[in-house]
Amino acid sequence: MEIEEFALERIQSLYENTVELNLSDSGVHPLCLNDLLSDAEMGELQALELGYGWTNGAVSLREAIAALYESRTPDEIIVTNGSAEANFLLVMSLLNPDDEIVVFTPNYLQIWGWARALGVNVKAVRHHADADWQPRLAELEEAISGRTRLITICNPNNPTGAVMPPEGMRELVRIADRHGIYLHADEVYKGSELHGPECESFLDIYDKAIVTNGLSKAMALPGLRIGWLAGPAGDICTAWKNKDYTSITTSAISEYVAERVLKPELRSGILQRSRKILRQNLALLQDWIDANADLVSLIPPKAGGMAFVRYHFRANSTELVHRLRDERGVLMLPGDVYGLDGYFRIGIGSPRSHLEPGLERIADYMRKNYRRNQ
């Protein structure tokens, strides 16, 4: 088996822990245990037996996750080591060589790469910048064939921060239902909407929906490595069987903390913190965009800890990102890793003490080295 390089993760794996100002993350600056647990709970954690536990996730944790959706049971949930393992199990459980999937792009391309490695035919349907980063669903209809087994979308979207409106979600469900195919949604940024209510889950509006989520992004707890896959009980049972070949189980410590942060009051408080940080940092970024409008532009994100910035000068995005890292000590992600040169992704969930000087260094570098395309 030959697996193509996962370019996005390779760049972050190599440099995010060594660069001075890391603006490549798409989540919110992480919380600490002291922010989450009472003294009594810290005592319970210290006394916790570090055994294996349930390989599909503790029943009480799966109950807490199921309560995030309408009329779901613990049997429709499997707890995973981050949402990445959930995506991995999705591919292993639903797809076979010569199946087809349709991926809405740009997207986090883990499913794309892993499915291609297994011999699945992968088709792309674009989100369009001139449509506020929404897809044109007529293009989806054209991409679906008799071999299409799965549609996958990231909503809210990585990297653009776009959120599909309710009418768009329902039209997407009607298309999937008409063809009798699965609809997968990566919903890991759900809850980080900058304005208005939390968007719906596809799990609540389609019986063949399967969703990925976790605590890394909107919930600002990536170090717990807790994610989940939720969907029809039979498919989740298949994923559980496949998990016996991967990580077997998640951390007992992480599950203890996860169960507590998913309690409605604490979850609500964490999401309020995330939204406050994101709104403040997006305002800072927008001021920077306005001050450098001859070189960059932005369709403002509606959710998530990132913004997808377009630049208006001639430079390859990967080369630009590496030059900024080498010469200014700032790490972003190039649009190349999404198949969209001419853009870079910048994290807006970072502390202001990182974001503000990082933006200053980026602007200084661009002004000294590039001019707007003529």
* CA-based torsion, 16, 17, 20, 21: positive or negative: positive
Question: Does position 6 have pLDDT exceeding 80, yes or no?
Answer: yes
Predicted pLDDT of residue 293: 97
Residue % of the chain over a pLDDT of 70: 100
Out of 212, 236, 263, a domain closes at 263
Sign of the CA dihedral running 339, 343, 7, 150: negative
State the pLDDT at residue 34: 94
Q: Is residue 213 within 8 Å of residue 183, measured between CB atoms?
A: no
- The three-class DSSP label of residue 182 is strand
Per-residue pLDDT, 373: 76
Per-residue model confidence as pLDDT tens digits over 65-119: 999 999 999 999 999 999 999 999 999 999 999 999 999 999 999 999 999 999 9
65 and 142 fall within a common domain: yes
Residues 248 and 115 in one domain: yes
Q: Are residues 152 and 11 in the same domain?
A: no
Separation CA 269–CA 30 (nearest Å): 14
Residue 374 lies in a domain: no
Which domain, by its residues, includes 204?
49-263
Question: Would the pTM of this model clear 0.85, i.e. be above it?
Answer: yes
* pLDDT at position 2: 84
Query: Is residue 7 pLDDT above 70, yes or no?
Result: yes
Looking at the structure, do residues 258 and 281 belong to the same domain, yes or no? no
Residue 267 confidence (pLDDT): 98
374 has pLDDT over 90: no
For 288-368, strand residue ranges (E) read 296-298, 306-311, 330-331, 333-334, 343-347
1 pLDDT band (50/70/90 cuts)?
A: confident
Distance, C-alpha 263 to centroid of its chain: 22
Looking at the domain assignment, is residue 56 inside a domain? yes
Query: What was the pLDDT predicted at 314?
Result: 95
Placement of tokens 């927008």 in the chain: 286
User: Using one digit for the tens of pLDDT, what is the confidence trace for 37-68?
Assistant: 999 999 999 999 999 999 999 999 999 999 99
Whole-angstrom CA distances from 210 to 21, 51, 260 are 36, 29, 24
35 class by beta-carbon count within 10 Å (0-12 exposed, 13-18 middle, 19+ buried): middle
Spatial distance between the Cα atoms of 229 and 115, rounded to a whole number of angstroms: 17
Q: Distance between alpha carbon 361 and the CA centroid of its chain, in Å?
A: 27
187 residue type, one letter = E
Residue 2 included in any domain: no
pLDDT at residue 256 tops 70: yes
One domain for residues 147 and 244: yes
Same domain, 59 and 119: yes
Is residue 7 within 8 A of residue 317, CB to CB? The reply is no
Residue 329 has pLDDT above 90, yes or no: yes
Percent pLDDT > 90 in the chain is 97
Residue 239 belongs to a domain: yes
- Per-residue pLDDT, averaged over 189-217, amounts to 97
Strand ranges in 170-256 using DSSP code E only, listed in sequence order: 182-186, 209-214, 226-230
Structural domain includes residue 111: yes
The residue behind tokens 């369709």 is 299
Q: How confident is the model at residue 372 (pLDDT cuts 50, 70, 90)?
A: confident
Whole-number Å distance between alpha carbons of 296 and 312: 6
* pLDDT recorded at residue 319: 97
Which of 263, 296, 321 is the C-terminal boundary of a domain?
263
On whether both 172 and 274 belong to a single domain, the answer is no
Examine the domain organization and report whether 230 and 289 are in the same domain.
Answer: no
Do both 258 and 287 map to the same domain?
Answer: no
State the pLDDT at residue 210. 98
Of the residues 242, 263, 284, the one at which a domain ends: 263
**Mind listing the pLDDT tens digit for each residue in 219-253?**
999 999 999 999 999 999 999 999 999 999 999 99
Q: Is residue 292 part of a domain?
A: yes
Does 17 fall in a domain? yes
> 185: domain CATH number?
3.40.640.10
The pLDDT value recorded for residue 81 is: 98
Count up the domains in the chain and report the number. 2
For the segment 258-305, what is each residue's pLDDT rounded down to a tens digit?
Answer: 999 999 999 999 999 999 999 999 999 999 999 999 999 999 999 999
- Arithmetic mean of pLDDT over the chain: 97
Both 256 and 328 in one domain: the answer is no
Residue 71 included in any domain: yes
Question: Does 150 share its domain with 182?
Answer: yes
By the 8 A CB rule, do 348 and 29 touch?
A: no
212 pLDDT exceeds 80? Answer: yes
317 shares a domain with 257? no
Residues comprising the chain, all counted: 374
CATH of the domain at 341: 3.90.1150.10
